[in-house]
Amino acid sequence: MDQTEAWSAEAFEARLRALGGCYHIHHPFQVMMHRGQCTREQIRAWVANRYYYQVSIPIKDAAILSNCPDRDVRRHWVQRILDHDGHGGEGNEGGGIEAWIRLGEAVGLAREEIVSERLVLPGVRFAVDAYINFARRSTWQEAAASSLTELFAPTIHQSRLDHWPQHYPWIEAEGYAYFRRRLTEAPRDVVNGLRITLAHFNTRALQERALEILRFKLDVLWSMLDAMTLAHCDVQIAGWGRYTPMAGAPVTS
Ligand SMILES: O=C(O)c1cc(C(=O)O)c2c(n1)C(=O)C(=O)c1cc(C(=O)O)[nH]c1-2
């Protein structure tokens, strides 16, 4: 087959979906959470760090809107901001960010501890900021394609709803509302994001570019968990012993 010929829409979509093999559902930290092997402290650390992703999503989406001259696209895309920030309508009073704070409280964090972001690790901040900056500097179509990790998100949200209550009975049930709401929001976002991506990336070179963008975004999510693993799991480093984040160089004398 001609290496420069565009893939059909179906073949292109299949390649995008195949990158699900690199989704953070396969990261050791995520696997540990899924199997019920996390301590309360590790779950709390994950929720507190992921808060930074949650509050950054609407900023990222506002960056996409600011680069998009197409009124129809903006009208759809703005819904994502309202999903997270809230619009006061029924079931969406505080939006996803408020629901995430409630999840934090359900796992034993204080609201102030979450919103102060003082538990957010540098590596998590850098990874999330890379995503925001990508959206600021790219075309709106490229930035839209970078949201397509959401293709794989309903599976991960559903698995938390299915397994966490048995594994972590100490988590208050109201905390799960965030995952439940994403089960309907994410598939709707994906239909829209896929439509834009399949229409815009219509040459082989552009399709390859879209795959590269999706890999970048998968790396953002993976790097966040790498940072959390280093800081909150018992990672031993030869010659250093247990890794302690931000502890500086070991005293070797
Ligand atoms: O819990 C997760 O594993 C997960 C992953 C992702 C993702 O794949 O980017 C998102 C979310 N959750 C999520 O809740 C969410 O609102 C969201 C928005 C976006 C995006 O890129 O615009 N990704 C995700």
pLDDT per residue over 115-161, tens digit each?
A: 999 999 999 999 999 999 999 999 999 999 999 999 999 999 999 99
Tell me the two tokens of residue 159: 């698995």
What is the pLDDT, as a whole number, of residue 118?
A: 96
Q: Which ligand 1 atom sits nearest the alpha carbon of residue 217?
A: 9
What is the pLDDT, as a whole number, of residue 94?
A: 85
Give the pLDDT band of residue 36 (cuts 50, 70, 90): very high
Q: What is the pTM of this model?
A: 0.94
What percentage of residues in the chain have a pLDDT greater than 90?
87
Span 39-56, pLDDT tens digits: 999 999 999 999 999 999
Report the separation in Å between the CA atom of 110 and the middle of ligand 1, taken as the mean of its atom positions: 23
Tell me the two tokens of residue 118: 């003082």
Report the separation in Å between the CA atom of 212 and the middle of ligand 1, taken as the mean of its atom positions: 18
Span 91-105, pLDDT tens digits: 667 899 999 999 999
What is the pLDDT, as a whole number, of residue 249?
A: 61
104, exposed or middle or buried, with CB in 10 Å at 0-12, 13-18, 19+? buried
ipTM over 0.85: yes
Nearest residue (CA) to ligand 1, atom 10: 150
Q: What is the 3-state secondary structure (H, E, C) of the chain?
A: CCCCCCCCHHHHHHHHHHHHHHCHHHCHHHHHHHCCCCCHHHHHHHHHHHHHHHHHHHHHHHHHHHCCCCHHHHHHHHHHHHHHHCCCCCCCCCHHHHHHHHHHHHCCCCHHHHHCCCCCCHHHHHHHHHHHHHHHHCCHHHHHHHHHHHHCHHHHHHHHHHHHHHHCCCCCHHHHHHHHHHHHHHHHHHHHHHHHHHHHCCCHHHHHHHHHHHHHHHHHHHHHHHHHHHHHCCCEECCCEECCCCCCCCCCC
Binding pocket residue ranges, ligand 1, CB within 6 Å: 57, 147, 149-150, 153, 156, 182, 221
Report the separation in Å between the CA atom of 150 and the middle of ligand 1, taken as the mean of its atom positions: 6
What is the pLDDT, as a whole number, of residue 237?
A: 83
Q: Looking at 57-66, 119-128, 163-172, 237-246, which range is the least confident one?
A: 237-246
Cβ atoms 157, 228 nearer than 8 A: no
Report the separation in Å between the CA atom of 236 and the middle of ligand 1, taken as the mean of its atom positions: 30
Q: Looking at 168-172, 198-202, 236-240, which range is the least confident one?
A: 236-240
